[in-house]
Structure 1
Amino acid sequence: MPTQRKTAIVTGAASGMGRAMALCLSEAGFDVAAVDRNAAALGTLPAPIKPVAADLADPASFDAIVAATLGAFGRIDVLVNNAGIGQAAIRDDQRRKPIRFWEVTPEQWNRFLTVNATGPIMMSRAVLPHMLKANSGRIITVTTSLGTMVREGYLLYGSSKAAAESSMAVLAADLKGTAVTANVLVPGGVTDTPLVGDAGDRSKMLRPEIMLPPLLWLVSDDAADVSGRRFIAADWDVSLPAAQAAEGAGAPVAWLSIARMPIEPG
């Protein structure tokens, strides 16, 4: 009896890293639901990738994405939380002219939190019942370098991505004892995507495809027991066996390597 194809949802799949990851998973034999609010760009993805036009700022989008994926493929095995908004959406030259803490408006803060933090959390929440019922699943969330979370001028992007990272640490802890994993994957530097805006010489930036070797390992059977980790794609040595490359590029998710749990009564 032939093995049933697995299904992956990739958000922010119309361009940049999301597009590269959607194409990669499709070529690797996955059925892929590619999610983005840019329906026209989604339409340029090749069949059999299924385009799912949705705006993660809409609370109704999460269940709609799951329903569309199940309707097309009947299962959900992998979720790649990649969709995000960058500070170039506020000011294209923000790397040279930082957006200071006191310049951020409540509307901007809410938008960044909604897309970069709430989106991955609610998307994960929407797929989890199906993964837990199937006793299998991989949740991979793209955050950012830890340095970006605390650098000057990065309240909007850095802090919202830090919230997403923290949520994945909680999720991994909550999933202990299940066959569903939660991990973080970051490129490790400025990557040539529309998100970064005017960030310098694009020929010197990381390529979106840098995400593919660790992604393919994370969705493989070899990573079935890997959870609560963050992987830096730029540190992934493709000359090594994947497990060794993962060891060199991985660390505990969020800040667990320096965390001390609080003293509690009892």
Structure 2
Amino acid sequence: MYFRSSSLILFCMPSFDFARAPHFDNLELFSSENENDYFPFHFHDFYCVSLITSGTEILKNTEQEFIAPSGTISITQLNEVHRNFSLIDSGYSYKTLYLNPELLRYFNKDKPVQALERVIYDPELFQNLSRLFDVENQNTTLWEDGFKALVKYSVRPDQKNLWTKSFSLIDEIIENYPNKQVDTEWLSKKFCMSKFHFIREFKKAKGVTPQTYVMLYRLGKAKKMLLENIPLNDIAYLNGFFDPSHFTNSFKKYFGVNPSSYRGPLL
């Protein structure tokens, strides 16, 4: 990461912070300073609500890009394949809340939230959500008020951005072979397709390659196991990683923190 001047480029390394708040099933909080281009294409089984505190974020899915400048709230939808990067070389900073769709449903009077507005400009909501990252403001009422205001930005999703169900069997295959190091050619035979046709069609349907999908699915399971205090060696083996080092590197690549930090103490 760097800042440009007329005669000099000064490098500034990004910093990441992760925590779990003692509310609503240990809500996850993530923040980054001076980030430019860190995460590859990936997806989450929750909503990412990012407060852009400086710079400008570009959120890119498989079809289009969205621009979120400082002071706005950037939304990544549930299960959306995406990546995030900075508009300029000097990077951008943000604070992110990871929200379970059931939590949003609860604050939406038990109505499912199909999607949220992509970029929200609401200074009052921005300020209120920012306060949730302050360890001295960990009271339930503050959280509830913030979520009630957020669900007012519910919208109908663009139907063409929804995943197709062509490869729904993939989850069952991963579950049936939990510690197998999945080979793409082996996997393509399960769908009675040639290797390259399978990769091409799978990416059309899911937005990522089969290998990336398997990796993210297994890392999602590993996150839950970490909170159960299962040893890292066992988690790596049970989810098909070569060794604990391979698991740790993969976890940090996609989630920005190492496994030990993820299951660290609450705020």
Tell me the TM-score normalised to structure 2 length. 0.23
Which protein is bigger by CA-based radius of gyration?
2
| Greater share of strand | 2
